[in-house]
Structure 1
Amino acid sequence: MLIKRNAYFGDGSKIRIGNNSQIGINSIMDNDVIIGDDVTMGPDVIIYTSSHEYKELGIPINQQGEKPHRPVIIGNNVWIGANTVVTKDVPMNSVFCGSAGSVVKMRF
């Protein structure tokens, strides 16, 4: 495992990183993240497992708390490109990139 500088893991209590995986410079992940084996991340990857609640119009968003955490699982042999925001599971053998975070290629 290789964790490059300035990576941030919140309290790190529910993060698992597989064998031979690399976490990019300035990457951010909160809780409930599982990263498989042989995963490569570019710099500035952000992995979010929760978000702000916003459904009550009469209450400011910053007073509504957070939605429940949903784990994000990144499969084995995945490449996540630089500046990607990950909010959902990433299938194994995929290339995942873009500001909205999506699979752009499957590797078979």
Structure 2
Amino acid sequence: MAATWHILREDDALTLARRLPARFDFGAEAAFPPVGRLRLARQIRQDMWRALQNLRGFAPVVRVETTSAGVQVRAGGQVDGTFPRQRAADTVAALLQDPAHRARWIAYAGGGRHG
């Protein structure tokens, strides 16, 4: 069965979520240059899922908001039940700051439209 992903568009923001309503039980933020929001969100979601796939009950959420300097990303998600909140947030923060991931995401999302 294919996974259903919800894409919410509102003004200058796009939210990619596994479940609705989208909820951030934990997360981290990072700034990026102007790139395609949906492409960036999808790439971050994939790598965040790989990093946190053993987190039981995890449903990823990525919000990408256009700013005057580029885009601001908030990544994290919802977890049903108890979980190591700080460790999960630290994992996402490290992922968002990793130079190799950032370079790949920006290269992939840079050629897309800014949707």
* TM-score normalised to structure 1 length: 0.28
Structure with more contact order per residue of length (Cα contacts < 8 Å, sep ≥ 6) = 2
Q: Which structure shows the bigger proportion of residues in helix conformation?
A: 2
* TM-score normalised to structure 2 length: 0.27
Structure of greater Rg:
1
